[in-house]
Amino acid sequence: MFSPRVLFIAMCLTALPAMAFAKQSQRPKACPAALSSDLAAQELEVAKTWIKRAGEHPSRDDLAQILPRLYQAAYAGNHEAQLRFGTYVVGYYYTDLMFWPRDPDLAIPALASLIIAARAETSHRDSLLQALAKTPIAFTNPDGPPALPKAWIKAALRETKRLFACAEKTRR
């Protein structure tokens, strides 16, 4: 399907930024400390600048700047960041086999963020978001995206439950 050279490049692109990401923000078992909405919006804007600068083929340094910022803004509840974080990681999985399963500490929160964002809206044009918005997640549309690995979906659903429980705690 992919040449060995493409797979090697994809592994190289994901390995070091993934390690940098994991060191900067290990996915905690406790509820994450959320940024304020203003700080989350600022982190999202900085990430969008890096994404634009990086173009279609981000370097390791670009990913080390982009991913932690998207993660923080998404986990702060910024809807645009949830969409951007999830689509960025899932998109590179579909196109370049990046992030899953080599980096679950990044892939799981990204997919969880995308599920939360998909379920927060009522109408989607994107077939992936339509599938993720359903309970249970269904990829039955033959024109839709290829199915994501079940292990990734299950882990992301556990993460969404954890995040919703955290949100409930902060509301009390």
CB 89 within 8 A of CB 107: yes
User: Is residue 22's pLDDT more than 50?
Assistant: no
Closest by CA position to 49, among listed 18, 13, 76, 73: 73
Which of the two residues, 139 and 52, has the higher pLDDT score?
A: 52
Residue 139 CB neighbour total at 10 angstroms = 17
pTM over 0.85: no
> What's the CA angle centered on 102, arms 111 and 56, to 5 degrees?
65
CB 101 within 8 A of CB 78: no
User: Is residue 14's pLDDT more than 60?
Assistant: no
pLDDT tens column, 121-151: 767 677 777 777 777 776 655 555 667 788 8
Portion of the chain with pLDDT greater than 70, in percent: 70
Q: For the chain, what are the domain ranges?
A: 4-25+33-171
Distant-in-sequence, close-in-space partners of 98: CB < 8 Å, separation ≥ 6: 10, 13, 14, 89, 92
Measured distance CA(72)–CA(159) in Å, rounded: 15
pLDDT tens column, 94-128: 777 777 778 888 889 998 988 888 888 767 677 77
Measured distance CA(24)–CA(46) in Å, rounded: 17
User: Is residue 79's pLDDT more than 80?
Assistant: yes
Measured distance CA(164)–CA(112) in Å, rounded: 11
Helix (H) / strand (E) containing 2: none
Mean pLDDT of the chain: 75
